[in-house]
Amino acid sequence: MTGNPVRLARQSSTLSQRYSSVRGHSRKLAGPLSDADATAQSMADASPAKWHLAHTTWFFETMVLKPNAPGYRVFDETFNFLFNSYYETIGARHPRPKRGLLTRPSLDAILAFRAHVDVAMEALIADGPDRALADLIELGCHHEQQHQELLLTDILHLFAQSPVRPAYRDPEPVAVADDPGDADYVAFEGGLIEIGHDGAGFAFDCEGPRHKTYVRPFRIADRLVTNREWMAFMTDGGYRDPLLWLADGWGQILEHRWTAPLYWEDRDGAWWSMTLRGMQPVDPSAPVTHVSYFEADAFASWAGKRLPTEAEWELASADVPVDGTFAGGGRLRPRPAGPPTGGPRQMFGDVWEWTRSPFTPYPGFKIAEGAVGEYNGKFMCGQFVLRGGSCATPDDHVRATYRNFFQPDKRWQFSGLRLAEDA
């Protein structure tokens, strides 16, 4: 790297702190887990915690160190097969549904792998990577933060399968809040607006390029849909009325017999839910979570509303600070809405918000060259966009332009909704 030595040293120090912080947090998240906890896989969509810890390390070893650190010694040649996720250009990989069969390497061996890579990464960063390499390392940090959230959601799904319903952290009940009252609807004139990342600071490739799009006048709820409102939907036969559901969603009802959000259980007439704090009473005032796109769309139809588009959501969030209930606060459950502000509330944190927008490329989007080009672009089919982050999202990981995406039947993430309507 060439340039002002003082400025370059400062950049390397900042990147080193960023890398160390992210990597240390992953290790902290794994702290409460035994080797058995970290090895088990509860379903094909989820991955063992041990795999998350190894895969994020594999990313730095494969994408950063091997091409850019002369003399780097690969920790274990078999790990490329074991911990590659979906990068076809890098080679064959262990089947995703069978990750839970990887009883070896042990959790201790994975932690040794992480330590080995961290030493090499810190040396590489200290040497002053050029801009392109620094950007790749930053991408790796955000990639690891994505897996930090997945580690939590996957552990929750795993623990929910256990008859003893273990708590990941602090099983004490979380206080139930007051009813936030009826939602107000905030009006937006729409028109020709710009959405997408403007290029300042980090963003994933799918967040850009920034571009113009037309939005019709609309109104959007000032808060998220609550558990109390969802209970009314259930009581009114929402899960039994095919007229509310998209055909594929009704197919899920028939196949999986959905009658409530994922993790809900009726205990003597009261609803309880499995959480990262173990089984807890459902807080009627908190945002509903662990619902699929199909359920969110059906609820919106029942309420006489609709889901917002991602352009509407981004417009509504434009002047809202990126502040909310994220993972760093340690609550690990969505929080009820605070007092009305006259504008949208709960735009960030608590639950990822389903939009009615399919995950497709923005105008002008181009897939990056090389293996990192497989990161987002290849998934732009059959998925819907979620916005805003959740109570399991790292605090500094989201932006108003952040586009999360999942297939419409998925429920194990902290996914919920807010309503919208045409003006």
173, part of any domain? no
Question: What is the spatial distance between Cα 304 and Cα 325, in angstroms, rounded to a whole number?
Answer: 28
Q: What is the pLDDT of residue 373?
A: 76
Secondary structure letter of residue 97 according to DSSP? G
CATH number, residue 306 = 3.90.1580.10
User: CA 262, 249, 410, 163 torsion: positive or negative?
Assistant: positive
Residue 27 and residue 120 share a domain: yes
> Mind giving me the DSSP string for 209-278?
--EEEEE--EEEESSPPBHHHHHHHHHTTTTT-GGGS-HHHHHHHHHH---SSTTEEEETTEEEEEETTE
Residue 375, pLDDT score: 78
What pLDDT was estimated at residue 6? Answer: 45
CA dist., res. 96 & res. 99, Å (int):
6
179 occurs within a structural domain: no
Give residues with Cβ within 8 angstroms of 129, minimum separation 6. Answer: 1, 12, 15, 68, 137
65 and 201 part of one domain: no
Kindly state whether residue 166 falls inside one of the protein's structural domains. no
139 and 196 in one domain? no
Q: Give pLDDT, residue 1.
A: 46
Closest alpha carbon to 396 in 34, 141, 26: 141
Query: What pLDDT score was predicted for residue 377?
Result: 82
Q: Quick check: is 254 in a domain? A: yes
**How far is Cα 78 from Cα 192, in angstroms, rounded to an integer?**
52
Q: pLDDT tens digits, the chain, 423 residues: what are they? A: 445 554 555 667 899 999 999 999 999 999 999 999 999 999 999 999 999 999 999 999 999 999 999 999 999 999 999 999 989 889 999 999 999 999 999 999 999 999 999 999 999 999 999 999 999 999 999 999 999 999 999 999 999 999 999 999 988 877 777 788 899 999 999 999 999 999 999 999 999 999 999 999 999 999 999 999 999 999 999 999 999 999 999 999 999 999 999 999 999 999 999 999 999 999 999 999 999 999 999 999 999 999 999 999 999 999 999 999 999 999 999 999 989 999 999 999 999 999 999 999 999 999 888 777 767 888 999 999 999 999 999 999 999 999 999 999 999 999 999 999 999
Would you state the structure tokens that stand for residue 335, as one six-digit string? Answer: 């929080």
- Does 142 map to a domain? yes
* Final residue in a domain of this structure, among 143, 160, 177: 160
Residues 353 and 209 in one domain: yes
Predicted pLDDT of residue 59: 97
C-alpha 276 chain-centroid distance: 16
Asked whether residue 177 is domain-assigned, the answer is no
Q: Are residues 201 and 103 in the same domain?
A: no
Is 174 a domain residue?
no
Residue 372: its pLDDT value, please?
77
Number of domains in the chain: 2
Q: For residue 377, give the nearest of 136, 94, 146, 87 by alpha carbon.
A: 87
Last residue of a domain, one of 126, 160, 194: 160
Provide the residue range defining the domain that includes 107.
5-160
DSSP string, 36-65: HHHH---STT---HHHHHHHHHHHIIIIII
Give residue 349's region: left, alpha or beta (phi > 0; psi -120 to 50): left
122 and 205 assigned to the same domain: no
Residues 128, 81 share a domain: yes
Q: What is the pTM of this model?
A: 0.95
Same domain? For 152 and 202 the reply is: no
**Strand, helix or coil at 281?**
strand
In a domain, residue 167? The reply is no
371, 298: one domain:
yes
Strands 191-195 and 211-215 come out as antiparallel
Same domain, yes or no, for 282 and 388? yes
Which of 160, 176, 193 is a domain's end point? 160
Does residue 155 sit in the same domain as residue 189? no
Looking at the fold, whether 153 and 191 belong to one and the same domain comes out as no
